[in-house]
Structure 1
Amino acid sequence: MTDATATQTPAPDPAERLLDAALPHVPFDGWSEATFQAARADAGIDAGLARALYPRGALDMALAYHRRGDAEMLRKLEQADLTALRFRDRIARAVRFRLEAAGDREFVRRGMTLFALPQNAGEGTKALWGTADAIWTALGDSSDDVNWYTKRMTLSGVYGSTVLYWLGDDSPGHAATWDFLDRRIDGVMQIEKVKADLKANRLTAALMAGPMAVLGTIRAPKRRGGMPGRTG
């Protein structure tokens, strides 16, 4: 084996190559079958292999692009020094990293159109939940009860509303979006303060004893890939 052969750069992953080839078409054709076929032709990938990589075509490609954004966010979080930040600011930083990793806003806008279709709504919800779960896990969340769900549900709402604001934000450097994000997180923190005050109040604590006992049986899922949990 020659030195040139030994140091040859590995060929790009065909799934990544196909996804990259799709992106220039998304602003015009959306995450559609037309985009999928155009990407396959541009990347020079066999039809059978392309379908094996993305069985549902553009839907699976859109989900792969979303996961790519999550991975980039996690890479930035790993490199960032967050030790001096309050926890709410760490969450804000993670959401900001995720939006910055989204790339062209048209990719996201077209993705939201795709996931708004009734047959795709479940996949869109899972993708949003996956982003929230990735953030909480990266920030060290160790909850194993109902809080595992409430944290992710709340953050999914914060992230989803911030994405919608970001799509229409033309302020320099998206400054208005970051202000909106801060306000949303402040609102969530107020809810957490109210919950803590209720627990500290003897009357409300007594009234909530029954419901809280039921909620106390809920546990985080053993498999972190989905939303369903377990009890007991």
Structure 2
Amino acid sequence: MTPMTTENLELRRDHLVEAMLVHVPFDGWAWSALEAGAKDLGQEPGDARLAFTGGMGEVADHFARWSDRRMLAELLTIDLEGMRVRDRIHTCIKTRLVMNAEHKESLRRLLSFLALPQNAGRLSRMTWRSCSEIWYAAGDTSTDWNHYSKRGLLVPVYSSTILHWMADDGDGDGDFPETWAFLERRIDDVLRTFRMPRRVKDRLVRLFTPMEFGRRRSA
């Protein structure tokens, strides 16, 4: 097997995750898909398992982090500063979905894997982290209660938009106008929530923090 070093582990994981995506629609979110991706890269199947000793859950987590990094890199090419905050959030989520559009079926298989009870905590942490990255990209610098409220209220917007997008076949030209309209409505809902009494917002935010969200899904 090819030696695995700390210096190249992150990059090799990136390449493996990207290569496996074409196999996931057929094999599911499974070792066989990852090993097939390794073969496509000219690597031994054992290299794939060596890169992800934490199992397929670790592969899912790395895919989410990789997608976060790709989203942030793409956002650097967009003038977010000239937008309203709501438009920044919309652009961030839209960018995240568009860049993964060619692997939609693989994402559907990933969501099925993450829907398993044992993955509830991982799914909630991944979702929270992505929403946090979106807020940072949108210019948020809060460190007080607002830090958590913004992310807690974005989690259901982000999650429901992904599910809507999964069922959206698009307009035939590679765009998803129905999903973007849905996203606009969800953002409107959040803006109305910010006008609610503090105690109501507190309850809503607690529902979607990683610990509470994971506990409810595991029940």
Question: What range describes the TM-score normalised by the shorter chain of this pair?
Answer: 0.7 to 0.9
CA contact (8 A) 2:38 2:44 kept: yes
Correspondences of 1:1-232 after superposition (within 5 Å): 13-103=11-101, 104-172=103-171, 173-195=175-197
How does the TM-score come out when normalised to structure 1?
Answer: 0.74
| Cα shift at 1:69 | 1.6
Structure of larger gyration radius = 1
CA displacement, residues 101-120 of structure 1 (integer Å, 9 cap, x when unaligned): 22321121111101101111
Q: Which structure ranks higher in relative contact order (CA pairs < 8 Å, sequence separation ≥ 6)?
A: 2
CA displacement, residues 173-230 of structure 1 (integer Å, 9 cap, x when unaligned): 21000000000000110111234xx7xxxxxxxxx7xx99xx8xxxxxxxxxx968xx
CA contact (8 A) 1:158 1:185 kept: yes
- Segments of 5+ residues of structure 1 without an aligned counterpart are 1-9, 199-207, 216-225
Q: Which piece of structure 1 moves more, 72-81 or 31-40? A: 31-40
Q: Could you say what secondary structure the match of 1:67 adopts?
A: helix
In structure 2, how many angstroms separate the alpha carbons of the residues matched to 1:171 and 1:49?
A: 38
| Cα shift at 1:59 | 2.6
- Segments of 5+ residues of structure 2 without an aligned counterpart are 1-7, 203-208, 212-219
CA contact (8 A) 1:18 1:45 kept: no
**CA-based RMSD:** 2.6
CA displacement, residues 127-148 of structure 1 (integer Å, 9 cap, x when unaligned): 1111101011122212222221
In structure 1, how many angstroms separate the alpha carbons of the residues matched to 2:70 and 2:39?
A: 27
Q: State the identity %.
A: 37
Matched length? 193
CA contact (8 A) 1:35 1:58 kept: no
